[in-house]
Amino acid sequence: MHEDLMRKLAEFEPTEMPVLSVYLDARPQATGGSPGIRSGAIVLKDRLHEIEKTYRPRGDDLDSFMADREKIEEFFNREISPATSGLIIFACSAENLWEEIEVGAELENEVTVDKVPSLFQLAKMLDEHDTAVVAVVDTSTARFFVTRFGKLKEVDAPDDPNAKMFRKRSMGGWKQTKYQRNIDNNRDDFSKAIVKDLEDLIRKVDAKNLIIAGDEIAVTLLQNNLSQKTREILYDYVLRIDMKTPRLDIKEEVREILEEIERADARVQAEKLVGAVRGRGLGVSGVNPTKQALENGQVEMLLIDPNTENLDEETRNELLRLAAATGANVEMVENHEKFAAMDGVGGLLRYKI
- Is it the case that residue 176 has pLDDT exceeding 80? no
CB 334 within 8 A of CB 306: yes
**Residue ending a domain, choose from 79, 111, 127:** 127
| Contact predicate 182/193, CB 8 Å | yes
Residue 38 lies in a domain: yes
Dihedral angle computed from the Cα positions of residues 274, 275, 277 and 282, in that order, rounded to the nearest 10 degrees:
-120
Q: Structural domain of residue 297, as residue ranges? A: 262-349
Domain boundary among 105, 127, 149: 127
Q: Domain holding 327: CATH number?
A: 3.30.1330.30
pLDDT band at 185 (very low <50, low <70, confident <90, very high): low
What integer pLDDT is reported at residue 36 of this predicted model? 57
**pLDDT value for 181:** 47
Q: Could you give the CA distance from residue 135 to residue 146 in angstroms, rounded to a whole number?
A: 9
The verdict on 192 and 307 lying in the same domain is no
Which of 28-42, 49-63, 183-197 is modeled with the greatest confidence? 49-63
Domain count, the chain: 3
Q: Cα 279 vs. chain centroid, distance in angstroms? A: 33
Instruction: Please check whether residue 141 lies inside any domain of the structure.
Output: yes
We report the CATH number of the domain holding residue 197 as: 3.30.420.60
Q: pLDDT by residue (tens digit) across 248-264?
A: 899 988 988 999 999 99
Tell whether 288 is covered by a domain.
yes
Task: Report how far residue 95's alpha carbon sits from residue 12's, in angstroms, rounded to the nearest whole number.
Answer: 9
Q: Are 84 and 104 in contact (CB under 8 A)?
A: yes
The mean pLDDT value of the chain amounts to 87
pTM (2 d.p.): 0.82
